[in-house]
């Protein structure tokens, strides 16, 4: 039997957690006992808590710890927040906190909800005459709405539900292809389950409708539902976050850069990210450093947020920076419109023990308030990154944080850490330089 064959298994999911670990360590690791101990060392001490975590996924064997941080001093629409962030990249939280603090004394962040509409689609294949379907669309719409009443009743009580249903003809691009595009209001939930349940119900109703309606000939009765699923592109579920102040209030910057000079360099850097997709991608990545960290900390779906944000950045046909900056009549204005389909009820938000704490830390916001907080953190993160880039460069702050990681990796003791931080204050940090420094110090003893 080949080596590879011994590494496949049937019935893995049926094994106990210890059984899964045993199979993994025996097949993939050189030191099975030590690895098994290590994996189990990350199990939650409280069995009930561990059971909750295991419920979020399948084939769980351990937990994957990530730092849980906070960025205090965020003044948003006149209210201060201490924002929870889950992220592994050195300096992201420090930068967010610095961005938050910078604007704390300059009026803080203003955030506005521009819309909260979500979208779903039923994609179907049909060989009938479109104008016939169009002519009875109002009938179909009534049938779709009444057929889904049981699913939508609760959401309607909360003020949401199905807003609008459109019938779209895509046969110019793909033969026999039509679409129902549906708009939803899902209130404080992200709404994925609700939307998908409604759409699957719509698919069934559509099929019944076309099969049974007298307007269609026999050879038009065959409709094939290809798929029914929400769209993560939500260009009408958008929040605007903004900071503004007179240019001279920006203060002075490293290297004796004046407020005006800084503002001009900053605005140019943002314009570059509007015109060049290479820069735009990194610029937006910086925004998502902050956004993803809060999205994760509050138990929301960061993949959905990222996917949507990037599509939105390219909505006019070219990928551009999400943020914009102007200097007009001596006033510096930096802002961003970003789609954020978030929830504060449902999903992991109340199930994950730490997500629940994050929402408590934020004062139990509703979905709209959370959108405003997260957009502001994204803008602060972007401000801090671009500010560093156009003044000192990014590596100074980044490598200071990275120094701690390298020292930990090399097993530095507390006194060695202190000496290293002092030594590298005015020197370039690299893995080799830190290792050489430590070896030098250790030789001295």
Tally the C-alpha atoms within 13 A of residue 342's C-alpha that lie toward its C-beta. 33
Partners of 334 in beta bridges: 243, 325
Residues 389-428 that bind ligand MEV (CB under 6 A): 389, 394
Contact segment (CB under 6 A) with ligand MEV among 213-221, 335-343, 383-391, 411-419 equals: 383-391
Q: What is the 3-state secondary structure (H, E, C) of 217-240?
A: CHHHCCEEEEEEEEECCCCCCEEE
Half-sphere exposure of 313 (CA within 13 A, CB side): 28
Q: Interface with ligand MEV includes 271 (CB under 6 A)? A: no
Binding mask 46-65 for ligand MEV (x = CB under 6 A): --------------------
Q: Kindly state whether residue 77 participates in binding ligand MEV, applying the rule CB under 6 A.
A: no
Q: Does 291 bind ligand MEV (CB under 6 A)?
A: no
Please tell me whether residue 267 binds ligand MEV under the rule CB under 6 A: no
CB closer to ligand MEV out of 193 and 282: 282
Please select the residue that binds ligand MEV; options are 291, 322, 385, 390, rule is CB under 6 A.
385
* Residue 444: partners with Cβ closer than 8 Å, 6 or more residues away: none
Q: Does 282 bind ligand MEV (CB under 6 A)?
A: yes
Active-site residue flag, 261 = no
Chosen residue from 286, 290, 346, 347 binding ligand MEV by CB under 6 A: 286
Q: Report how far residue 229's alpha carbon sits from residue 243's, in angstroms, rounded to the nearest whole number.
A: 37
Report the distance separating Cα 127 and Cα 31, nearest Å. Answer: 62
Catalytically annotated residue among 285, 310, 350, 356: 285
Is residue 98 near ligand MEV by the rule CB under 6 A? no
What is the rounded radius of gyration, in angstroms, for the C-alpha atoms of the chain? 27
Judged by CB under 6 A, the residue of 289, 321, 349, 376 near ligand MEV is: 289
Nearer to ligand MEV, 87 or 406 (CB): 87
Q: Which of 250, 379, 386, 403 is close enough to bind ligand MEV by CB under 6 A?
A: 386
The CA–CA distances, whole Å, from 429 to 126, 177, 290, 352, 423 equal 63, 57, 25, 38, 10
Using CB under 6 A, which of the segments 96-104, 135-143, 381-389, 417-425 binds ligand MEV?
381-389
Would you count residue 119 as binding ligand MEV (CB under 6 A)?
Answer: no
Neighbours of 240 (CB within 10 A): 17
Stretch near ligand MEV under the rule CB under 6 A, chosen from 9-17, 117-125, 167-175, 277-285: 277-285
Which one, 154 or 395, has the nearer CB to ligand MEV? 395
**Nearest approach, Cβ of 400 to ligand MEV (angstroms)?**
14
| 275/294 Cα distance (integer angstroms) | 28
Q: Which stretch binds ligand MEV (CB under 6 A): 30-38, 76-84, 284-292, 437-445?
A: 284-292
Q: Is 166 a catalytic residue?
A: no
Residues 6+ apart with CB under 8 A from 299: 347, 348, 349, 350, 351, 352, 355, 356, 358
89 in catalytic set: yes
Residues 6+ apart with CB under 8 A from 363: 79, 81
CB 398 → ligand MEV: shortest distance, Å? 8
Q: By C-beta, is 195 or 399 nearer to ligand MEV?
A: 399
Catalytic residue status for 123: no
Q: How many residues bind ligand MEV (CB under 6 A)?
A: 10
User: Which of 200, 242, 301, 368 is flagged as catalytic?
Assistant: 301
Q: Are 298 and 367 in contact (CB under 8 A)?
A: no
Cβ at position 263, least distance to ligand MEV in Å: 17
| Positions in the binding site for ligand MEV (CB under 6 A) | 89, 282-283, 285-286, 289, 385-386, 389, 394
Q: What residues are annotated to the active site?
A: 89, 285, 301, 398
């Amino acid at each position: 039997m080949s080596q590879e064959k011994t590494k496949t298994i049937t019935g893995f999911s049926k094994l106990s957690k210890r059984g899964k670990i045993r199979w993994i360590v025996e097949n993939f690791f050189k030191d099975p006992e030590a690895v098994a101990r290590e994996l189990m060392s990350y199990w939650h001490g409280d069995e009930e808590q561990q059971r909750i975590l295991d419920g979020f996924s399948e084939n769980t064997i351990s937990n994957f710890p990530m730092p849980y941080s906070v960025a205090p001093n965020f003044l948003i629409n006149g209210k201060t927040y201490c924002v929870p962030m889950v992220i592994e990249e050195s300096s992201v939280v420090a930068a967010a906190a610095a961005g938050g603090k910078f604007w704390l004394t300059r009026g803080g962040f203003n955030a506005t909800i521009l819309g909260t509409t979500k979208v779903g689609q039923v994609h179907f294949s049909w060989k009938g005459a479109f104008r016939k379907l169009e002519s009875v669309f109002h009938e179909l719409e009534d049938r779709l709405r009444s057929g889904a009443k049981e699913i939508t009743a609760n959401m309607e009580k909360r003020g949401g539900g199905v807003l609008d249903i459109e019938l779209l003809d895509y046969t110019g691009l793909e033969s026999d292809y039509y679409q129902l595009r549906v708009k939803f209001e899902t209130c404080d939930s992200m709404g994925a389950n609700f939307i998908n349940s409604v759409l699957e119900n719509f698919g069934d109703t559509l099929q019944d409708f076309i099969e049974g309606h007298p307007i269609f000939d026999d050879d038009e009765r065959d409709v094939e539902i290809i798929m029914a699923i929400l769209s993560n592109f939500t260009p009408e579920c958008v929040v605007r976050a903004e900071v503004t102040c007179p240019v001279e209030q920006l203060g002075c910057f490293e290297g004796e850069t004046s407020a005006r000079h800084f503002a001009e360099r900053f605005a140019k850097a943002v314009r570059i990210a509007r015109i060049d997709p290479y820069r735009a991608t990194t610029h937006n990545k910086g925004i998502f450093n902050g956004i993803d960290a809060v999205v994760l900390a509050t138990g929301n779906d960061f993949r959905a947020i990222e996917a949507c944000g990037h599509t939105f950045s390219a909505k006019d046909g070219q990928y551009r920076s999400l943020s914009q900056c102007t200097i007009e009549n001596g006033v510096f204005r930096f802002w961003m419109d970003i789609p954020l389909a978030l929830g504060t009820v449902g999903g992991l938000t109340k199930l994950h023990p730490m997500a629940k704490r994050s929402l408590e830390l934020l004062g139990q916001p509703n979905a709209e308030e959370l959108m405003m907080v997260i957009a502001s953190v994204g803008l602060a993160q972007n401000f801090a990154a671009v500010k560093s880039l156009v003044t000192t460069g990014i590596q100074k702050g980044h490598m200071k944080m990275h120094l701690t990681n390298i020292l930990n990796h090399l097993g530095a003791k507390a006194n060695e850490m202190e000496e290293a931080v002092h030594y590298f204050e005015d020197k370039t940090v690299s893995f080799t330089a830190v290792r050489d420094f430590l070896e030098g110090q250790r030789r001295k003893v």
